[in-house]
Structure 1
Amino acid sequence: MLKVNDLNVYYGGIHAIKGISLEVEEGQIVTLIGANGAGKTTILRTISGLNKAKSGTIAFKNTEIQSMAAQNIMAMGISQVPEGRRIFSAMTVLENLQLGAYLRKDKAGIKKDMERVFDKFPRLLERIKQQAGTLSGGEQQMLAMGRALMARPKLLLLDEPSMGLAPLLVQAIFSTIKELNQEGTTILLVEQNAHMALSIAHQAYVLETGRIVLSGDAKELACSPEISEAYLGGSVGH
């Protein structure tokens, strides 16, 4: 579904992404893990058209998208839930969700997807008229995910969905990610919590300073001593 080939991205004079290639098959959850500053967010932002690549290609369903505008990429079926949620805090929960569907014209489909979001996140229905800025961190994360789902994405890019959340909420968010995937949404997940990410992903790529240093089956990587040492605090499988 997504094929990134020899991608190079710069921030000014800094070579942030160094010749990265990765693939996401339809129906998979693929995760990018690595320390802060490894380039994970930059990759997602470049896929969704917010950053421009210096060289390399990004193909979505066999169409190259690296020089397309962000809204055209979104119209093709790629939605991103950004790091730090980025909800519109002065707007209500409902208005935030409606914004997620702003490229769509199918009223019946929008209504159905709105019901699906409330089914996934009942808390949002309870807070439907509330200003988004008054929600808790966990509720804001639900709203950010719900808003992205309103675009009915074929590929969902999730950037640090567990950041700053209480452990119980992290569990809930990850269950939802797994559920969305089982219902047919392909997911590319960037996550600081490597243990959780590897537990739900099919494939994983490990980044260090803008390069992929390891990749493979997520369950196998979760058991590898190198990964365990570097990202899981040395406790494989616990």
Structure 2
Amino acid sequence: MDMLTVEDINVYYGAIHAIKGISLSVAKGGITTLIGSNGAGKSTTLHTISGLLKPKTGKITFEGQDITGKPAHKIVGMGLSQVPEGRHVFANMTVMENLDLGAYLRRDKEEINKDLTDVFTKFPRLLERKDQIAGTLSGGEQQMLAMGRALMSRPRLMLLDEPSMGLAPLLVQEIFNIIKEINDSGTTVLLVEQNARMALSIADKAYVLETGNITLEGTGKELLNSEAVQKAYLGG
């Protein structure tokens, strides 16, 4: 069953036609990935789904409800959260304050505490640094904090935008292991990632985006073995 469907959306930045009538779906419980080169429209697609941008035409449905053009905070309240590219932690606040902000729409104190324990189990380094100012964390730790903050809203669907960007290879592996763990715990994932090999290796379903168009789709394995994908994105 599809948790999210995007139907024929067109998105513009002024006169620039950034997304050209794309359609995609995200199956409940799985990992769907969107790969493509810089400027292909991957982040624009995520911003449109999460309500940060409005499509000119087309429809976005989340768990059977039309969310096209809904304000971003309302979409978060419905169970969809985004981990932005570049992490965007609140640099002058502590780790703990950042995590608290992730739960700002919630009032279920006991459950919030349970989720906080779960975040610290997934990211032990955040527990060690809970009183540290977020801007002083390393890039990898900030990525973990951005993911932890998104988990605090208890999303049923998490959008991840370039989680491995700028990280050392060992940390990239750790972040992908955690994405898999988040998914195994029951959260559906839509992943945008330039590290195509890593993204396709964990994805159930995958799409290739080129200059605002979807040019290929299939299972992660199919695209990993595709000659066109290997030539364009895997250095094959």
| TM-score, normalised with respect to structure 1 | 0.98
- 1:78 is aligned to 80
Q: Using the TM superposition, give the Cα deviation of residue 2 of structure 1 relative to its aligned residue in structure 2, in angstroms.
A: 0.1
CA displacement, residues 4-59 of structure 1 (integer Å, 9 cap, x when unaligned): 00000000000000000000010010000000000000000000000010000000
Which of 175, 182, 188 is the equivalent residue of 1:173?
A: 175
Paired with 1:68 and 1:229, the residues of 2 have a C-alpha distance of 39
1:161 aligns with 2:163: yes
Aligned positions of 1:132-171 closer than 5 A = 132-171=134-173
1:225 aligns with 2:227: yes
Paired with 1:228 and 1:123, the residues of 2 have a C-alpha distance of 35
Paired with 1:137 and 1:44, the residues of 2 have a C-alpha distance of 22
CA contact (8 A) 2:4 2:63 kept: yes
Question: 2:157 is matched by which residue type in structure 1?
Answer: L
Question: 1:67 is matched by which residue type in structure 2?
Answer: G
Q: Using the TM superposition, give the Cα deviation of residue 128 of structure 1 relative to its aligned residue in structure 2, in angstroms.
A: 0.5
Question: 2:152 is matched by which residue type in structure 1?
Answer: M
Aligned positions of 1:53-132 closer than 5 A = 53-132=55-134
Paired with 2:97 and 2:69, the residues of 1 have a C-alpha distance of 30
- 2:54 is aligned to 52
Q: Using the TM superposition, give the Cα deviation of residue 233 of structure 1 relative to its aligned residue in structure 2, in angstroms.
A: 0.3
- The list of structure 1 runs, each at least 4 consecutive aligned residues, that deviate by more than 2 angstroms after superposition, is none
CA displacement, residues 85-126 of structure 1 (integer Å, 9 cap, x when unaligned): 000000000000000000000000000000000000000000
Paired with 2:51 and 2:22, the residues of 1 have a C-alpha distance of 16
- 1:189 is aligned to 191
CA displacement, residues 150-181 of structure 1 (integer Å, 9 cap, x when unaligned): 00000000000000000000000000000111
Q: Secondary structure of 1:144's match?
A: helix
Which of 4, 7, 19 is the equivalent residue of 2:9?
A: 7
Q: Secondary structure of 1:79's match?
A: strand
Q: Using the TM superposition, give the Cα deviation of residue 199 of structure 1 relative to its aligned residue in structure 2, in angstroms.
A: 0.4
Q: Secondary structure of 1:4's match?
A: strand
Aligned Cα root-mean-square deviation (Å): 0.4
Q: Secondary structure of 1:105's match?
A: coil
CA displacement, residues 133-163 of structure 1 (integer Å, 9 cap, x when unaligned): 0000000000000000000000000000000
Question: 1:74 is matched by which residue type in structure 2?
Answer: V
Paired with 1:69 and 1:223, the residues of 2 have a C-alpha distance of 39
Which of 15, 18, 27 is the equivalent residue of 1:16?
A: 18
- Percent of pairs with identical residues: 69
Q: Using the TM superposition, give the Cα deviation of residue 67 of structure 1 relative to its aligned residue in structure 2, in angstroms.
A: 2.1
Which of 23, 28, 31 is the equivalent residue of 2:30?
A: 28
